[in-house]
Amino acid sequence: MGNGANNSRYKPLAALSHHNFRWFWSGQCVSLIGSWMQRASQAWLILEMTDSPFLLGLIGVMQFLPVMLLSLVAGVVADRFPKRKLILSMQLSLGAQALILSALVYSGTVQYWHVLLLALWQGIATAFDTPTRQSFIVEMVGKRDLMNAISLNSAIFNGARVIGPAIGGLVMHHFGAGLAFLLNGISYLFVAYALLIIKVDGLPTKKRERNMLQEIKEGLAYAYRTPQVSEVLSLVGVIGIFSLNMSILIPVLARDVLGQTAAGYGIIMSFMGVGAVCGAGLLAYVSHLGPKRQLLFGGALGMTITQIMLSQVTGYWASVGLVFLLGWALITCSATANTTLQVASRDDLRSRVISLHALLNGGTSPLGNLFAGTVTDLLGASGGFLACGGVGLAGTVYLLWRGKNRAAGINTLRYEHTAEI
C-alpha cells in the first residue's frame, strides 16, 4: 500500500480535510437530526392514530415503493446530470414535504391518507437523492479517502439516530408531533446552504448518446458479471427485505412488550444509534485497510442473530443492550457494502451501481414492511423479530457458503488498483 494509505492509519478524520466534503458533512449533521426526529415521530403518530402495525407497515410501503420503481432510472439520471444541483433540488423537496406534514398536524386536520401520500412524495425524492448523493461522495474526496468518508457519514447518520429520536420523543411528549416535523423541514436549509458552498458540481464523466433503457441494461450487466458487486448486492437484497424493518418492529416492541411511552421508545431508538456510531467510528479508524468481506458478512450475521435474540427478551435494559448491538452490526455491514460497491465500480457506472444498492437496500422495503407488518400483526413483536431475523440469517449463511470461492478476490480489494479522481 502506498504511503498515503499508510498515513491514513493515523487520520480517522481524513475525509474532512477535503473542503467540499467538510461543508457537505457539516450540513448533514443538522439535517439528519431532523430526519430522524420525523422518522421516529411519524411512526409513533401512525401507531397512535391507527393502533395497527399493518397500517404502519403500509406507510413504509408507500415511502419506499418509489425507490423500488425509480432507482434504476435515478441511477442513469445521476450519471447524466450535475449531481450537486440534483441533490439540492431533492433536499428542498424533502424539506417542503416535512413542512406540509407539520401544517396538517398543527391545523388538526391530519388524516392517515395524508401521511400516506406524503410518504409517497418522500419516497420519490429519496429515490433520486440517494444514488446521487452517495455517488457524489467519491467526487468530493477521491477513492483513497472514500471508506473514511462513508464511515464519517455513517457516524453522523447514526449520531442523528441517537439524538433525533430522543428529541423527537420528548418534543412529541411535550409539544406534539407537529413541532418535530416543523424542525425537520427547517433543518434541510442547512444542507441546502452547504451544497451552495461546494465547489464541485459532479458532472458526468462522458457524453451520453444511448437511451435510458440501454444505460440501465449496461449497469445491470456490469453488476451481474462483476463478482465483488454481485455478491454485495445479493447480500444487501436479503438484508434489505428481511432485516431492515426496525421502523415496524421496534415501536411495537417498545409499546406492547416493554410498556414504554413515546419518550421511552425514543430512548430505545437512540441506543441503536449509539451502537451504530461506535461501529462507524471503528470503521473510520481502520478505513485505510479498505473494505473487508469478513466485516461485510460479520455485520450481517450480527444483525440477524441479534434480531432473533430480541424475539426472546422482555426486559427493558436487555432489549436496549441488544438494540445497541444491532446498530453496531447494521453499520458495519452497510458501510462496508457501500464502500465495496463504490471502489469496485467503474467511474462512469458508479451511480447506476449505487442505484442498484438503493433499490435492494431501500426499494425492497415495501416487501419487507408488508412481511414484517403482517407477521407482527398476527404474532406480535416477538414473532416479527423471529421471522425477520431467522429468514435473514438463513439467506446470509447461504450467500456466505456460496461465495466462499470468491473470498480471495473480495478480500484483496484495495485502493491502489483504482485511479484517484
- Percentage of the chain surpassing pLDDT 90? 18
* Residue at grid coordinates 435510458: 212
Of the candidate ranges 55-59, 171-175, 401-405, the one whose mean pLDDT is the lowest: 401-405
pLDDT at 420: 35
Does the pLDDT of residue 82 top 60, yes or no? yes
Residue 421 has what pLDDT?
Answer: 34
Is it the case that residue 322 has pLDDT exceeding 90? yes
CATH architecture of 14-202+212-411: Up-down Bundle (1.20)
CA–CA separation, 225 and 211 (whole Å): 22
* Model pTM score: 0.70
| Span 350-406, pLDDT tens digits | 778 888 887 887 667 667 877 888 888 888 888 999 999 999 999 999 988 887 655
Q: How sure is the predictor about 15, in pLDDT bands with cuts at 50, 70 and 90? A: confident
Least confident stretch, 14-23, 68-77, 120-129, 263-272: 263-272
The answer, yes or no, to whether residue 203 has pLDDT greater than 70, is no
User: pLDDT confidence of 314, banded at 50, 70, 90?
Assistant: confident
Contact between 66 and 197 under an 8 Å Cβ cutoff? The reply is no
3-class SS of residue 44:
helix
Helices (H), 345-403: 350-358, 365-402
Q: How confident is the model at residue 206 (pLDDT cuts 50, 70, 90)?
A: low
Residue 365 CB-half CA count within 13 A: 29
Q: Which long-range contacts (CB under 8 A, 24 or more apart) does 6-12 make?
A: 6/288, 8/144, 8/145, 8/148, 8/287, 8/288, 9/288, 11/148, 12/148, 12/281, 12/284, 12/285, 12/287
What span, in angstroms and rounded, lies between the C-alpha atoms of 265 and 36? 13
Please say if the pLDDT value at position 283 is more than 50: yes
With a cut of 80, say whether residue 98 has pLDDT above it. yes
**Number of other residues whose CB lies within 10 A of the CB of residue 29:** 18
Among 69-73, 212-216, 288-292, 299-303, whose mean pLDDT is lowest?
A: 288-292
The residue type found at 348 is D
Q: Which of 8-17, 70-79, 263-272, 288-297 has the highest mean pLDDT?
A: 70-79
pLDDT at 304: 93
